[in-house]
Amino acid sequence: MAEILLEAEPQAVALDLARTALVIIDMQRDFLEPGGFGETLGNDVSLLAPVVPACRRVLDAARAAGLLVIHTREGHRPDMADAPPAKVERGTPSTRIGCAGPMGRILIRGEAGHDIIPELAPLPHEPVLDKPGKGAFYQTDLELMLRNRRIENLLVCGVTTEVCVHTTVREGNDRGYRCIVLGDCCGSYFPVFHEIGLKMIAAQGGIFGWVSDSSRALAAICSKRPAAHSEMGL
Ligand code: TIU
Count of CA atoms in the C-beta half-sphere (13 A) of 174: 9
Q: What is the pLDDT of residue 1?
A: 53
One-letter identity of residue 10: P
Exposure b/e, 182-203, CB count within 10 A at least 16 = b? bbbbbbbbbeebbeebbebbbe
Alpha carbons 214 and 57: distance in angstroms, whole number: 7
* Residue 26 CA, ligand 1 centroid: distance in Å: 8
Multiple choice CATH, 3-221, 3.40.50.850, 3.40.50.2300, 3.40.630.30, 3.30.2290.10: 3.40.50.850
* Residue 43 CA, ligand 1 centroid: distance in Å: 10
Which atom of ligand 1 is nearest the CA belonging to 41?
1
Tens digit of pLDDT for each residue in 41-56?
999 999 999 999 999 9
Which atom of ligand 1 is nearest the CA belonging to 189?
3
Ligand 1 — pocket residues by CB below 6 A? 26, 31, 41, 74, 134, 159-160, 163-164, 189
- Ligand 1 pocket, mutate which of 23, 74, 97, 137 (most atoms under 8 A from CB): 74
Concerning whether 131 is annotated as a catalytic residue, the answer is yes
Average pLDDT taken over every residue of the chain: 95
Set 30, 115, 134, 164: catalytic member: 164
Q: What is the pLDDT of residue 200?
A: 98
**Cβ 163 vs Cβ 38: under 8 Å:** no
3, β-bridge pairs: 16
Concerning whether 26 is annotated as a catalytic residue, the answer is yes
The residues near 80 (Cβ < 8 Å, ≥ 6 apart) are: 88, 97, 98, 108
Averages of pLDDT over runs of 10 residues in the chain (234 residues) are 90 98 98 95 96 98 98 98 97 92 97 98 98 98 98 98 99 98 98 98 98 98 64 44
Q: What is the pLDDT of residue 230?
A: 43
Set 30, 55, 115, 131: catalytic member: 131
What DSSP string describes 1-51? --EEEE--BSS-EEEEGGGEEEEEE--BHHHHSTTSHHHHTT--GGGGTTH
* Residue 21 CA, ligand 1 centroid: distance in Å: 22
Q: Rounded to whole angstroms, what are the CA distances from 134 to 72, 83, 92, 161?
A: 10, 12, 20, 11
- Ligand 1 pocket, mutate which of 163, 188, 196 (most atoms under 8 A from CB): 163
Q: What is the pLDDT of residue 225?
A: 58
Which atom of ligand 1 is nearest the CA belonging to 26?
10
Give residue limits of the domains in the chain.
Answer: 3-221
Tens digit of pLDDT for each residue in 62-84?
999 999 999 999 999 999 999 99
Stated as kind and residue range, the H or E segment containing 101 is strand 100-101
Concerning whether 186 is annotated as a catalytic residue, the answer is no
- Ligand 1 pocket, mutate which of 25, 27, 29, 31 (most atoms under 8 A from CB): 31
